[in-house]
Amino acid sequence: MPPPDSASLPRILATARAGAVGEAWRLFRAAGLEGELADPATLAVKGRLLKAQAGALAEGAGRTALLAHSESLIRNFTENLMQYGLGRRIEYFDQPALRAIVRKAAANDYHFSSFVLGVVNSAAFQMSRADAVQTTDNSQVSDRPAKGSRR
């Protein structure tokens, strides 16, 4: 086994930062650094490579899982957004509007504004009414000065 080449550590780090974690591991092993336990710089690089590899695996797995369930995820998001906008639960008669919002958002590459505009332009949102606001009658207290003010 050749002696470890710690001079290649900056190149290995640069390769890992560029996103080529597999290539960085290959360079790490080729430099004979895998079994090196005494050099703190080598251990630090190995730790960074392990962290980058775990992050790349998690990111890839998470993205794959999201893409596998993207239709239900988008539908659920749209339903929750509409519930928030309407201020009530989604009922069976809201389903055609939800499907239309998802279709229009898909045509617009799922931009967030597409979902918001879909909810705002829906008949359910247009026909909903806000609760009446109750105001207090201040005519009785208008004779008195406001607290902290001088007359």
Contacts of residue 16, defined as CB under 8 A and 6 or more positions apart, other chains included, come to 24, 48, 49, 52
Q: Among 76, 81, 68, 89, which Cα is nearest to 114's?
A: 81
* Residues 100 and 79 sit within 8 Å (Cβ to Cβ): no
Tens digit of each residue's pLDDT (9 = 90 or more) over 88-137: 999 999 999 999 999 999 898 888 999 999 999 999 999 887 677 777 76
Which sequence spans correspond to the domains of the chain?
Answer: 6-67, 70-127
For residue range 7-27, list pLDDT tens digits in order: 777 888 788 777 777 777 788
